Amino acid sequence: MIRLLMHFMGDGSIYPLVGSTKPSAYNNQNTHLRKQFISHLSIVFGDVSLCARENLSSLARAHVKVPKWIAYVLAHFYPDARFGQSRSRLPGIVFSLPRELKIEAIRTLADDDGSVQELCIRFVSGSCLLLEDIRQLILQLVQEDDKLSEPQKRTLERSLSSVKKQRNWYRLDLGFHMFEWYRRNIGFSHPEKAHEIEFRLKAASRTTELDALARDHLILCELARGRRTALEIARAHYIREEYVHESLRYLVGLGRVNRFGKLLSRKKAAAQWALTEEGKAWIQTLDLVNLVRSKGLMRKVLPKGDYMRYRWLKPSTQLEARTTLERLNDGRQN
pLDDT of res. 122: 94
Segment 95-112 mean pLDDT: 93
The region, left, alpha or beta by phi > 0 then psi within -120 to 50, assigned to residue 84 is left
Residue 139: in which H helix or E strand, if any? helix 128-144
- Give CA 2 to chain center in angstroms: 25
DSSP string of 183-206, one letter each residue: HHHT--SSHHHHHHHHHHHHHHHH
- In the sheet that holds 164-166, the strands lie side by side as 114-116, 120-125, 169-175, 164-166
Segment 193-216 mean pLDDT: 81
Q: How many CB atoms lie within 10 A of CB 58?
A: 6
Residue 265 in this model has a pLDDT that exceeds 50: no
Distance CA 63, CA 34 (A): 8
pLDDT of res. 128: 92
The region, left, alpha or beta by phi > 0 then psi within -120 to 50, assigned to residue 258 is beta
**Threshold 0.75, pTM exceeds:** no
Residues ≥6 apart with Cβ < 8 Å to 166:
none
pLDDT of res. 179: 93
Domains and their CATH numbers in the chain:
1-84 (3.10.28), 85-199 (3.10.28.10), 210-334 (1.10.10.10)
* Segment 23-77, tens digit of pLDDT: 778 877 788 888 888 888 888 888 776 776 666 554 456 778 877 788 788 888 8
* Segment 172-204, tens digit of pLDDT: 999 999 999 999 999 999 988 999 898 888 887
